[in-house]
Amino acid sequence: MGKTLIAFYSRRGENYVNGSLRNLALGNTEIVAGKIQALLPDADMFQIETVKKYSPDYMTCIEEAKQELRDKARPELTAQVENMDQYDTIILGYPNWWGTMPMACYTFLESYDFSGKTIIPFCTNEGSGMGSSERFIKQLCPDSTILRGTPIHGAEAAHADREAQQIAALAG
């Protein structure tokens, strides 16, 4: 049996939480990814990060993200997963940005052949759920098994133990 990879994109610093801006030491998606890894200690973690950093100012960042979405940008990533072939299951976490996942996740998904792999998405959000991200993952990875995503209210990330357990159980 192959291994599990927990790949995630997360934003630290200024974020929108329950209607106001707050400074987060860890991004909400990173918090949930850590909870999942605690339940799956043999799983590897990979943080999806972009070479070009987004503005630390949240309002500017969301405008940058909106422009990337309009441009269908594929931001360059800082690192690649070594030997993706060893993984059968990919748990993919990301925040909901403009109704989908950050464009860096598109870059990630287009960088590897996920044929025959199972992808388990989860998405932190402030009320918009999974958005259209599951549809896009299916389009980008047509030869993969894409399980139903788990939306997690970002403000509740620190308390998302039940959701983390459900995701870990899907990874087996």
| Interacting residues of 134 by C-beta distance below 8 A, sequence separation 6+ | 121, 146, 148, 149
Q: What confidence tier does 171 reach under pLDDT thresholds 50, 70, 90?
A: very high
Counting beta carbons within 10 angstroms of the beta carbon of residue 85, is it exposed (0 to 12), middle (13 to 18) or buried (19 or more)? exposed
The class of domain 3-171 in CATH terms is alpha beta
Residue 131: pLDDT over 90: yes
pLDDT tens string 87-102: 999 999 999 999 999 9
Q: What is the pTM of this model?
A: 0.96
Question: pLDDT over 70 for what percent of the chain?
Answer: 99
pLDDT at 1: 55
**Domain limits, the chain:** 3-171
pLDDT at residue 23 tops 90: yes
Share of the chain above pLDDT 90, in %: 94
